[in-house]
Each structure stands twice: as structure tokens, then as C-alpha cells.
């Protein structure tokens, strides 16, 4: 007769901490929009367009961070983000056709 003795051991597994996609995208956004803002220093922009340039960067950053942080909420957040992205894409295509057919005199 053979005796089967089993012993239990507590094993602690240590893994490297993974960077969450939310944190990664937030840091990426800092570099992206910081780089956009630095172009005002490296590339001369007319003084009458500086305000519009920074408003565009600020507005884009707000939309970007809003979408990144809503996406990380869960399944409902992802549906909201994809819906907003589809609407933004459709609006962009509409504006491209509108501006192509209705040119603005300069």
C-alpha cells in the first residue's frame, strides 16, 4: 500500500506592475498637446492667429482627456466613446464636403 501525502505551500508570485492603458494615454496626451503648444515657439505664427491656435489645442485636449477617461469606466463608457467618435467622424466628412463646395473668399 502506497501512502500519498500532500503538503501545502504558500507561494507568493511577484509580477511587474503593468501600466494601465488609461495612465498611458493620459501621459501620451501630455506629450502630444505639449508638443502642439511648443510649435507656437518653434514655428512663427501670426499674432492674430495665436489665440485661435491655443483655443484649438485647449479644446482638442479637453475632448481627448474626456474620451480617454470615459473609455476607462467600462463597457458603457466604451459605447459612449465609440458613439462620439462616429459622430465626430461624420461631422468631419460633412465639413470637408461643405468647405469643398462652399469656398470662402480670402
Does residue 89 sit within a domain? yes
Q: What is the pLDDT of residues 6-64, one digit of tens each?
A: 666 777 776 666 668 889 999 999 999 999 989 888 888 888 888 999 999 999 999 99
Cβ proximity of 33 and 64 under 8 Å: yes
| Tally of structural domains, the chain | 1
Does residue 15 sit within a domain? no
Find the range with the poorest average confidence among 7-11, 31-35, 76-80, 89-93: 7-11
How many alpha carbons lie under 13 Å from residue 19 in its C-beta half-sphere?
A: 8
* pLDDT given for residue 105 in this prediction: 76
Cβ proximity of 54 and 40 under 8 Å: yes
**Higher pLDDT among residues 37 and 5, named by residue:** 37
* Residue 27 belongs to domain spanning: 21-101
User: In 3D, which of 58, 18, 25, 23 has the Cα closest to residue 40?
Assistant: 58
Overall residue count recorded for the chain in this entry = 106
Does residue 12 sit within a domain? no
Confidence band, pLDDT 50/70/90 cuts, at residue 79: very high
pTM score, whole prediction: 0.68
Does residue 11 sit within a domain? no
Does residue 5 sit within a domain? no
Amino acid at each position: 500500500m502506497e501512502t500519498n501525502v500532500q503538503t501545502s505551500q504558500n507561494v507568493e508570485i511577484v509580477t511587474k506592475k503593468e501600466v494601465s492603458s488609461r495612465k498611458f494615454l493620459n501621459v501620451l496626451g501630455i506629450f502630444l498637446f505639449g508638443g502642439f503648444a511648443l510649435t507656437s515657439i518653434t514655428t512663427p505664427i501670426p499674432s492674430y492667429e495665436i489665440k485661435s491656435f491655443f483655443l484649438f489645442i485647449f479644446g482638442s485636449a479637453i475632448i481627448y482627456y474626456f474620451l480617454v477617461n470615459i473609455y476607462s469606466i467600462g463597457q458603457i463608457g466604451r459605447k459612449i466613446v465609440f458613439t462620439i467618435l462616429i459622430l465626430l467622424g461624420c461631422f468631419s466628412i460633412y465639413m470637408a464636403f461643405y468647405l469643398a463646395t462652399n469656398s470662402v473668399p480670402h
